[in-house]
Chain A
Amino acid sequence: MSDRSTSLTGQFSNPGAIPRRQFLRDGARAAALTGLGGLLGLAAGRSTRAGTVWQIDPQKCIRCGNCATHCVLEQSAVKCVHAYAICGYCQLCTGFFEPAPNDLNTGAENCLCPTAAIKRAFVEDPYYEYTIDEGLCIGCAKCVEGCNRFGNGSLFLQVRHDRCLNCNECAISKVCAGDAFRRVPSEHPYLLKTMSH
């Protein structure tokens, strides 16, 4: 108390006190260090999730169309894939044809896919094989809906990890209407459909 006195203005005059400028400088430095610590913590958190990747649970997917429109990539990393073991190889594939096609041929007016990403090849009467051109597929799930509605559900969506950036917070997962996005171990990055019988 002895070295502490009151000035004329009534303020404390303390020789050991920190000037406002220094206080602000120290405060800013502390805040920066706190921020840096936070970032390091976040990075550490991410490193613990490094062993997982995003994937779609095909049993939960409701074909809402968000995969085509919400991926951060210009062309979505979500693609339609085909479980051939489940496929009926139907002549009138409802994943390939419009619900009421004029004819069962590959004319654009008869086809369901907006980017012509499904290829149809004759196997033997009356069976046809359907393959997905991933370079054209935008993951809109229109074919998946057609296949699931009428058929065996052999077409389904998957995040393709040759393209996916594995964002910390997947932009599609935030808007996924079926809550079908989840992280899976990177050693098993795909959730495949299998025959139930």
Chain B
Amino acid sequence: MNNRNRTITRRVFLRRSASGAGWLALGGVSLAGAAQRNANPFAYDLERVSKTDPKLVRYEQAGRFVCPWPGPRRLAVGPEDHLYIAARKGVTVLDGEGRRLQEIALAAPARCVAVAADGTVYAGLRDHVEVFDPKGRRLAAWESPGRKVWLTGLAVADKDVFVADAGNRVVLDYGVSGKLAGRIGEKNKERNIPGLIVPSPYLDVKMGPDGLLRVNNPGRHLVEVYTANGDLESSWGKATAAIEGFCGCCNPVGLAVLPDGRYVTCEKGLPRVKIYSAQGVFESVVAGPESFPENARAGALQDASDGLLGGLDAAVDSQGRIYVLDLVAADVRMMRAKA
């Protein structure tokens, strides 16, 4: 009881307070000094461009699930809004909630996939395309189109299958029977085509609702629109780390087209997914770099395959929901427009 009633003088109180504050300040200075010593004076500063204005984000995550197989590369939406994921062991088919419906095992990693309206599955391996019926039975293995082939994108139309060959910087036009019918995007002065620049293996091709092909030209930071005959109709895009453009050396790396013809673009380095109008005007953000911390670090920390680990891909279902594939985290997010 005596101890409880013990009091200290104001002078002692002030002296002790001053002493305590002094020690605290000393500790703070010491910690700050340690942090300063550990800071990298040569840090590559992306902080300013890594933050997304929340007002620009007009989508929210409605679901997220892990890819069944490791090493996912591309995804596509097929009939009944089923998801098809090209991965290291083959193609997996999932429903919109991520439940596994079917597996198509392949002898080599699948690098891209597309699905026809009748459910026929086209899987792009490194140097050729394999075709499967809706039940996963192999129908055909097309002949490799040549040397240095590195297939990274597929799109299917009524009578054609378009195959993006990053190794040779060209989109190949195949008939559904597997016969090569044409080459799209190669440099051609007479046709006023500047040519595709693909520094890393991320060439994509998508078919729009207007029957025109959308092809990314990452080295030029452009999205190009071609007819099925290979005529360049238009292009848009600009190189900038700002949100309205495409960042880094070579973006975008993935494309999707919304039912109304607007674009979904995916970037690597600063992993972000954005929406552009049908004319290529920036509209909004689906998900910014904050949503993909693992992916943002991938290039910096795990370059075992020389920068090929990063990146995103996207696909759109019939309801306009956007599925975003994170190649590093090996998961899929379902994004829907905010109410």
Contact = CB atoms under 8 A, between A and B. Distances in A.
Interface stretch (A4-12, A36-44, A47-55, A93-101): A93-101
B240 A151 contact: no
B44 A63 contact: yes
Contact of B301 (A62, A65, A151): A62
Interface string A89-123: 11111100001100000000000101000000000
B146 to A, nearest CB: 15
Interface residues of A, number: 38
Interface stretch (B177-185, B228-236, B245-253, B319-327): B245-253
16 contacts: A65-B40, A65-B42, A65-B43, A91-B219, A99-B45, A99-B241, A100-B242, A142-B43, A145-B44, A149-B248, A150-B248, A150-B270, A151-B248, A152-B200, A152-B306, A152-B308
Given A65-B42, A68-B41, A197-B308, 10 more contacts: A62-B301, A88-B250, A94-B269, A100-B241, A149-B44, A149-B300, A150-B268, A150-B307, A151-B248, A152-B306
A59 to B, nearest CB: 5
A59 B150 contact: no
A135 interface: no
A193 B268 CA distance: 21
A151 B44 contact: no
A196 interface: yes
Interface residues of B, number: 40
B305 A196 contact: yes
B147 interface: no
Given A59-B304, A94-B249, A150-B269, A100 B49 contact: yes
A13 to B, nearest CB: 60
Contacts of B249: 88, 90, 92-94, 150-151
Contacts of B303: 58-59, 148, 153
Nearest to B247: A150
A78 to B, nearest CB: 12
Nearest to B246: A92
A24 B306 CA distance: 64
